[in-house]
Amino acid sequence: MTLTRPGPPGPEQAAAPSCAGMPPLGDGPRSADVVLRARWLEVLLGDPLRPPGPRSPAASAAGREAVAPSGALGAVLPGPADVRRLGAEGVVRVLRPLFRRGLGLGHAWAVRPLSGALAGAQAGAAGRQLGALLGPAALVGAAGGALHTTARLVDRLAARAPGAGRWQPVLAADFADLLACESLTAVALRAADLTAGGTPALTAAAGYVVPQLVGQVLDDLELVLSEAGLGPDRAERRALAELAADRVASGADPAAAADGRAQLIRALPSLADPAGRAVRAGQEQGDLASREVFRLGQAGTAPTGTGAGALSTADVAAALPAAAARLAERTDDDPALAALIRVARRLAGEQRTLRLPYPAAGHTGPADAAARALADRQALLLLAAAVLGVGQEAGGFLGRPHWALLALTRVTRRLGAPLPEPSLDPAGDVWAELAGRTRQGIDCDVYGSELLWTGTGTEAGTEAGTGAGTGAGTGTGAGAGGTAGAGRRRGGGGT
């Protein structure tokens, strides 16, 4: 199938002209700045298949303890002063190459210093929201790199070992889950950019649910690599083990999950009746602000609505029934779309059923088991709202229903709700996109970012990689690069 990426900006926003060797720069100066800065960071990080040099990070236990770099690398890493210029979403996009390289390194060079700097009062609510979202963003980036590596290996294996094809639906589901996690995180980041106070409950939902889902994705990747016959000494398995060790060492996930859950419990009363809230708050204004928050990678306009706090988590939650209604108005004769509408309606119904226990749950604390369960369900529904909202505003692959259908089917199962009768399996379409991205050197992210280092294309069955300090799945040939030298660099000589 033709590889597609998140669609181009609308006709009212002129895209930068394309240039050979240049990645797509998006819809304006801010987007171009973000994309180019991320590319420059990738250049400075170097080829992951080369042995570590003086400037190349070693994504190992030493990487976790590495002090922040100086010089060119230090200058390209965003600091608190960059938040206003790049936006919270932009800062995370710039950091993605670092997160893909290694979770430990990402925490040492970005998450800890930046979240610490943003914790102060001068950073404002938006800065604090960004600080809280760096952990989930780093996790999504690292897992995306590992998924890219594993998917490329399975894609190549399937050509000579047909049995490897049984893992394609598993990896397709993991891809859908990661896109969902990144959608939720990115929507929370955009909300921090678009509103004065950010959306603390949405940030809390990301901190709570992203580590859970990413943990399950990483477990799947370990299973696939093991069942594909890769021993514990293979670079891909070692990279996953390093990622697991980095998660434990950072201690970020349990703390974020507990804190996120406590915040969600406190926010439960305010999340009641999201569909009705959209009507009471001035539907048109709220609708505009809500849809803007789902336009990932696009420059936001000045906050709309009545000023500070114009967009709330409840508005984002309201996107679930609103998106289900808008989908139902479409007249496409697409079985995948029809299936997505059914699942979206089912989830909107689940959201309505959670309204009743809210008044009681609002008076309880984090120790209350019923409140914990409600918060868990609410977080999953916010994840679903983010998936639907992003899908509705995107073009290309993200704008098609298959990934959302797969992600929402899994959300429905996690909620324990009955699924509508299945009419088609979207995993094939999602796997085709994932496999295509690994062949074309495109990242597994929601932006469809081009990867600078695209791997050597050598056999996946080669020995443990070059040991070139690869992190948890750079997606550019960690391990799969075998004994050869550097990965192929996109764009030839220059950037």
Partner 1 sequence: MSGTQAFGAPLHVAGPEGPWDEVCDRFESVGRAVVHTTWGEWLTAALLDPELRALLGRDRPRYRHSPAAAGRLAFAVSRVVMKHTAAAVLGTAPAALDIAYLPGGQPVLRGFGGELWLSLAHTEELIVVAVSRGGPVGVDAEAVTRRVSFEALQGQVCTPQEAELLAALPEDRRAARFLRLWTLKEAYTKALGQGMRRGFATVGFCWDGDGRAVLADDSPAARAWSFTTCLVRDRYLVSEACRDTGRDTARGGGQGTGHVAGQAAGQVEDRLRDDPGPLAGTGLPPAQTVRS
Binding interface with partner 1 (CB under 8 A): 170, 173, 212, 216, 219, 223, 226-227, 232, 241, 244, 248, 253-254, 257-258, 261, 368-377, 410, 413-418
Tokens of 198: 């950010």
CB of 218 vs partner 1, minimal distance in Å: 11
Nearer to partner 1, 288 or 417 (CB): 417
CB of 197 vs partner 1, minimal distance in Å: 26
The CA–CA distances, whole Å, from 228 to 224, 433, 472 equal 6, 21, 18
Nearer to partner 1, 170 or 434 (CB): 170
CB of 307 vs partner 1, minimal distance in Å: 35
Measure the CA–CA gap between 391 and 151, rounded to whole angstroms.
23
CB of 254 vs partner 1, minimal distance in Å: 5
CB of 6 vs partner 1, minimal distance in Å: 26
Measure the CA–CA gap between 199 and 305, rounded to whole angstroms.
15
Nearer to partner 1, 220 or 273 (CB): 220
Do 344 and 388 touch, CB atoms closer than 8 A?
yes
Please report where in the chains the tokens 């939902």 appear, as a residue.
Answer: 205
CB of 244 vs partner 1, minimal distance in Å: 7
- How is residue 110 annotated by DSSP? I
Nearer to partner 1, 88 or 243 (CB): 243
Nearer to partner 1, 49 or 375 (CB): 375
CB of 87 vs partner 1, minimal distance in Å: 31
CB of 47 vs partner 1, minimal distance in Å: 28
Query: 453 forms bridges with which residues in the sheet?
Result: 489
Measure the CA–CA gap between 475 and 153, rounded to whole angstroms.
10
Nearer to partner 1, 287 or 425 (CB): 425
Nearer to partner 1, 334 or 425 (CB): 425
CB of 220 vs partner 1, minimal distance in Å: 8
Measured in degrees and rounded to the nearest 5, phi and psi for residue 386 equal -65, -40
Nearer to partner 1, 411 or 444 (CB): 411
The CA–CA distances, whole Å, from 293 to 191, 286, 394 equal 6, 11, 12
**Which residues have C-beta within 8 Å of that of residue 150, sequence separation ≥ 6?**
171, 221, 224, 225, 236, 473
The CA–CA distances, whole Å, from 52 to 59, 271, 471, 490 equal 9, 49, 11, 20
Give Cα 53 distance to the centre of its chain. Answer: 30
Measure the CA–CA gap between 489 and 487, rounded to whole angstroms.
6
Give Dmax (Cα) for the chain. Answer: 63
Nearer to partner 1, 94 or 184 (CB): 184
Nearer to partner 1, 250 or 476 (CB): 250
Taking only Cα atoms into account, the Rg of the chain, rounded to an integer number of angstroms, comes to 21
Task: Kindly report the length of the chain.
Answer: 495
Measured in degrees and rounded to the nearest 5, phi and psi for residue 210 equal -60, -50
CB of 417 vs partner 1, minimal distance in Å: 7
CB of 84 vs partner 1, minimal distance in Å: 35
CB of 219 vs partner 1, minimal distance in Å: 6
Nearer to partner 1, 65 or 227 (CB): 227
Nearer to partner 1, 75 or 258 (CB): 258
In our burial notation (b when 16+ CB lie closer than 10 A, e otherwise), range 385-423 reads bbbbbbbbbbeebbbbbbbbbbbbbbbbebbebeebeee
Residue 395, amino acid: G
Do 13 and 7 touch, CB atoms closer than 8 A?
no
Q: What is the 3-state secondary structure (H, E, C) of 261-278?
A: HHHHHHHHHHHCCHHHHH
Helix (H, G, I), strand (E, B) or coil at 392: helix
